[in-house]
Structures are given as C-alpha cells and as structure tokens.
Amino acid sequence: MKKTFLDLGMQPLANNFSKKYTPASFRLKLKFDTDLKLVMINKHMKKEKMFNKSYPYRSSKSKLVKTLFYKLSKKLNKKFQPKKILEIGCNDGMFASNFDRKKIICVEPCKDVALEARKKGLNVYINYFDDKLVKKIIKSHKKFDLIFSANTITHISKYNSVFSNIFKILDEKGTVIIEEPSLLETIKKNSYDQFYNEHIYVFSTIALQNILKKNGLEIYDIENIKVHGGSNRYYIKKINNKNIKSSIRFKRNMSLEKKHGLDKFSSFKKFSEKVKKSRISLVKLLKDLKKKNEKIIGYGASAKAVTILNYCNLKDDIFDYFYDTTNQKIGKFLPGTKIKVMKYKKLKNNKIYVFLGAWNFYREILKKEKNFYNNSGKFITHVPYPRIIKK
C-alpha cells in the first residue's frame, strides 16, 4: 500500500531552465510504500521529458564530485582490478575518465552531455539503459566485473527492470556500486529539497535491499559519503555469490535506519510536520530581510533550489538573481519562477545576503568566497533549519 505523507505543492520540471517563463505544472507529493518501505514521489514523468538533448546538469561543475570520483577510481582499481567496467548515467564523464578507455563502457541518454563524454575519448552508448540496449551490450561486450552508477538509478521509474538487467550483465563474482542520496541524511537534515521530479525515489538501505533481493542481488557493504548532502555508496553482489560476507558497516547502517524509523510511516508524518515548519520559518526570514530593503541573491541554481522556490513561493520579489557556473543554465529562468540565472562572479559586495541553492557544496563555496565571508558577508541556508550564517 502507498500512503501520502507530504504535499510539496505545484512544481515544474526541476531542470527545465528556459528563456521563457515556465509555470509549475504538476503537484508533487511524497509517498511511502508500506511493503517495500520505499519513499517515492507521486508523479513519474516520461523519461524523454526529463532527460533529453537540452539536459543542463554537468557533474564537472563541482570540485568535490570530481575529487571523490577520482579517489574512488584509484580505490576500485586497487581493490577489484576490474577488467571490464560499465557505467550507467555517465553524464560528462567525470567518473569514467579516470579509467583506461579500453576497459570502460558508458551509457548516457542525453545527447549533448554524452558528446562531451565522448570528447574525453570514452565509449558512450547514447541510450537509456533498457532491455534493448542491454541485449546489444551483451552481444558486443558479454559480462562486466564492475558496474557503477551514481545518482542515476533513483531517476529511473522501473527499478525492477534496471536491476534485472544489471543481474544479466554482471559477472557471477562481479560487484555493482551505486551512489545515491541517503534517506536517513535527508530526514536528519530536513532537506526536503532532495525531492523533485528526477528523484523518483530516495532510497533507504532497507528499501534498496528489499528491491535488490527480488532481483537476485544484495548489498554487502556501505560507505557514507558527504557529497550531495549525504549519500550512500552501496556495494552489491549476486545473492548466489557466497564468497563475500556482509560488512559491519552494512549492519550498522541497517540498524541505524531502523532506530530512526525509516521502515515506519509515522516517521515520515513527523518529517512532514518539520518540513512545513521549515517553510514558514524560511519565508519569514527572507520576507523580514526584504522589509528592511536588503538585497538577496541565490548561489547555485540547483534542481533542489527549484523545489524550495516553488514550495515556499519565493519568487523574483525576494531574489534579484541566482549565480551559477553552468553555461546551459545562464541567461535562463529558474523553472516555475522569473528569477534569472546569471553567470557566476566572485562575491564582492558584503552588503548582500546570499541564499545557498547549492548548500550541499557549502565547504567548497566557503573556500571560494573566503573574502566575502571574512568581510562579514552573509549566507542563508534552510539546512538543517533556516538561518543566516555569518562570521
């Protein structure tokens, strides 16, 4: 049974940056599947509507993302010495480009992004990861001993199809590594902005294990990583592969999630009350500043920021503009608003207030904007509760 616990109001497609104003077009609600213990959104958009030629997100825009992928590639080469790797959802190739080009095959459906990855010498199938593609891949490459996918599986509505296909192309002793935002961190940080049309699911370890087991796979180890506001890196194997035992880290994560009630609907009802309070408090904070004629801008026109702006009804009466480094977003409106994305410039004017649309990269941003911060520049965040951050 699926039970609704939060209504995030009318929302637009979170990455539909456009020169024309695009109003919010669907109602976003969050649901809990009581059988699988899975949290999901109510509306599953057509993949072609979300992931197409004009998809603007680029992994390469964050130093942290690049560094973590680089470090992980070193570790994987040492630990697994993989001979054949598959990456699902490679985007502009930030993970894959750390490997010997002959060893890695990538899948990326958004043409413009995929072409950027190909420019790095990568072998990219410009396709969605589906039955037809998997047949084609098996024909040319047989099986893989390492399959990697970050921030992609939760974007695909049909998870059983994804995992049954992964099972088909995974070597009997092979490893699958998946990175996704952690539901536990989302609840702890009250970061309701993890929910938008692309994040069809936000996995708990409990839910992911339930889904995997139905497809002959299981998690045996987990690393908690800092990226994207707190993610989990899941290490997965075939259930039939009895050589590997579950780690202590895996058991610890499972019991921590149970302690926080991630398997119970009542916990999500509590979360929804906290979200509503967070919205009231953020709106008050920003409106009070506007009453004093303060100037507020945004930093990082993230998909997450789109959820906040539309849920809290924060529009161009609050924000002058948002800074962002992504060419594909600059000069366009944040979806559902008439707030423009401007080409990023180093923060100089310490009189303005800067709302962190990319709060998850706070450390990276603070390093970049040291002068602003040290000269009494002020940031605003809603995580874990709305407040002004100043030195």
- In the complex, the residues that contact ligand JHZ under the rule CB under 6 A are 57, 61-62, 151, 198, 228, 300-304, 323-326, 329, 344, 358, 360-361, 364-365, 368
Q: How far is the CB of 107 from ligand JHZ (least distance, A)?
A: 15
The binder of 304, among ligand SAH, ligand JHZ, none, by C-beta within 5 to 8 A per type, is ligand JHZ
Scan for tokens 């294990």, then name that residue: 209
Q: How far is the CB of 69 from ligand SAH (least distance, A)?
A: 8
CB of 230 within 8 A of CB of 182?
yes
The DSSP-derived string for 147-177 is EEEES-GGG-S-HHHHHHHHHHHEEEEEEEE
The binder of 333, among ligand JHZ, ligand SAH, none, by C-beta within 5 to 8 A per type, is none
Q: Is the dihedral of CA 234, 235, 239, 242 positive or negative?
A: negative
By CB under 6 A, the count of residues binding ligand SAH is: 21
**Is there binding between residue 128 and ligand SAH (CB under 6 A)?**
yes
Q: Which of 5, 17, 32, 51: binder of ligand SAH (CB under 6 A)?
A: 51
Q: Which of 151, 191, 231, 307: binder of ligand SAH (CB under 6 A)?
A: 151
Is the Cβ of residue 220 or residue 319 nearer to ligand JHZ in the bound state?
Answer: 319
CB of 214 within 8 A of CB of 186?
no
- Beta-strand relationship, 353-356 and 296-299: parallel
**Is there binding between residue 86 and ligand SAH (CB under 6 A)?**
no
Residue 131, helix vs strand vs coil: helix
Near ligand SAH by CB under 6 A, which window of 9-17, 54-62, 229-237, 375-383?
54-62
Q: Is the dihedral of CA 219, 223, 224, 226 positive or negative?
A: negative
d(CA 252, CA 45): 35
* Number of neighbours of residue 240 by Cβ within 10 angstroms: 10
| H or E, element range at 27 | strand 26-33
**Is there binding between residue 107 and ligand SAH (CB under 6 A)?**
yes
**Is there binding between residue 166 and ligand SAH (CB under 6 A)?**
no
Q: How far is the CB of 95 from ligand SAH (least distance, A)?
A: 6
The binder of 182, among ligand JHZ, ligand SAH, none, by C-beta within 5 to 8 A per type, is none
Helices (H), the chain: 47-50, 63-80, 111-119, 131-141, 159-169, 183-189, 205-213, 248-259, 265-291, 303-311, 362-368, 370-374
Measured in whole angstroms, how far is the alpha carbon of residue 179 from the centre of its chain?
Answer: 9
Side-chain half-sphere CA neighbours of 5 within 13 A:
23
Is the Cβ of residue 193 or residue 373 nearer to ligand SAH in the bound state?
Answer: 193
Q: Which of 5, 17, 32, 55: binder of ligand SAH (CB under 6 A)?
A: 55
Residue nearest to ligand JHZ (CB): 300
Q: Which of 41, 147, 156, 184: binder of ligand SAH (CB under 6 A)?
A: 156
Note the residues at the interface with ligand SAH (CB under 6 A).
Answer: 47, 51, 55, 57, 59, 65, 88-89, 91, 107-110, 113, 128-129, 150-152, 155-156
